[in-house]
Structure 1
């Protein structure tokens, strides 16, 4: 493709990602790596680095919007994200030593998992039931130092393991992992779902930024012009997607997006797996 055509493809793909993020509340950034590899000609190593820019930017924008609606527990999100940075750094370093075909095969498996989880959500009709939750009260702290030292060590271990796993996923594959961060927050911090969803965006922003900083200067750099175009288009159209969600049947949009994710996952697998056999 000519440079002009490639730039146009980046803008259109970014618009699709942003629309899905805005209309469906997440999931769109999972497409960033396949778009960068198969549509924009980046290597898997370049794509997983460039994807972190898309993930961090869109998550930050989403976190601001969620905070305005009162669904972000900032202190807990920052604490969980700080713990998760260890995994993000390790994952980012590990990805530099993995073959491109292995990265793509792992990413295809991840996309198949995401598509399956989205299909399950469609069947269960997550829109049914109560949509509001009371703001949770502060839990008993995990660690206390005054008047005496005390540790809720089983709970601390649960937070450490789940946060490290989520951070490692972000650093290794360049994805936000919101579909796993939300359950992790439900499990480790016992947050109500609306607050887990909003707070997860803070966690993803922190881990994506940490992984991106770790990758800086290591391995091949992506085409930053294309990455920025993809990111800008995604951020702008996310606003349109959020407005679109109030006017259309998001269940149909979600079904279409689930089919798209599964199709891209299958295509990625057919391209990556033969090279491993």
Structure 2
């Protein structure tokens, strides 16, 4: 591993952690293109490596949010329980899908994530206690459905799925954005670990000399992301990340389209 590769791994890992810690979302969606285009991983290996990084860094961010009291454990565990079986199944299925199709699907999901982030209202919903058993029963089936869909995307593409979890928690259950972000990290960590278990056979072929510093920087970045979120308005962080994500998605979709038309 060259010095340049090490620097890229550390800087990119820190950015992934900052996104997860600050927004509760975006770590996997940023990690996959970085691993492919900057660090030389193939699409399938990048998805596996991203799940590993997202699992560890989201756990680090979760600890920071737990200390601040911004995690709704009951809601997060229900959301995660709905997503873990689909994440495992999709992780097993991913081994049978061509890498270029995974890249194209990832680019479309990343574009959707950017669109959703840009459409989130600037003002937070009112803080309403909506844990199970407090009058939000009609909303829980939708939350469980969102959790299951999120788990499938996590296992298949290596994304953490926070871009779906945060709007679901903030919109369907009226969580304040800080609590939606903190609770999302619980969901992301659980789904990433479940999806990773479905890809366990591919972990031995990963370049751990690159992945280890990348993951370490992401874990530290997740702690810094939580602190950054207290100093910079969430709207600013979300919009900056969304436009970056949209640019990455456009580049990846163009590359996947070129590859498909050239074969």
Q: How does 1:58-207 map to 2 (within 5 A)?
A: 58-121=57-120, 124-126=121-123, 133-136=127-130, 138-139=132-133, 158=142, 160-185=144-169, 190=173, 192-194=175-177, 195-207=179-191
Q: CA deviation at 1:218?
A: 4.1
Distance 1:118 1:162, change over 3 A: closer
RMSD: 2.9
- Identify unmatched segments of 5+ residues in structure 2: none
2:28 is matched with which residue? 29
1:221 is matched with which residue? 205
Greater helix content:
2
Answer whether contact 2:107 2:250 (CA < 8 A) is retained: yes
2:19 is matched with which residue? 20
Residues of 2 paired with 1:253 and 1:181: CA distance? 17
Answer whether contact 1:181 1:200 (CA < 8 A) is retained: yes
TM-score by length of 1: 0.81
Residues of 2 paired with 1:36 and 1:239: CA distance? 21
- Identify unmatched segments of 5+ residues in structure 1: 143-151
Q: CA deviation at 1:247?
A: 4.3
How many residues are paired up? Answer: 260
Deviations 1:3-49, CA, capped at 9 Å, x for gaps: 33212211111122223334445324311000110101000000000
Residues of 1 paired with 2:144 and 2:222: CA distance? 32
Residues of 2 paired with 1:247 and 1:198: CA distance? 16
TM-score by length of 2: 0.85
Indicate the structure (1 or 2) with the bigger Cα radius of gyration: 1
Report the more deviating stretch, 213-222 or 229-238.
Answer: 213-222
Residues of 2 paired with 1:245 and 1:64: CA distance? 15
Q: CA deviation at 1:105?
A: 0.4
Residues of 2 paired with 1:99 and 1:156: CA distance? 35
Answer whether contact 1:177 1:204 (CA < 8 A) is retained: yes
Q: CA deviation at 1:112?
A: 0.9
SS at match of 1:139: coil
Answer whether contact 1:92 1:215 (CA < 8 A) is retained: yes
Residues of 2 paired with 1:140 and 1:14: CA distance? 39
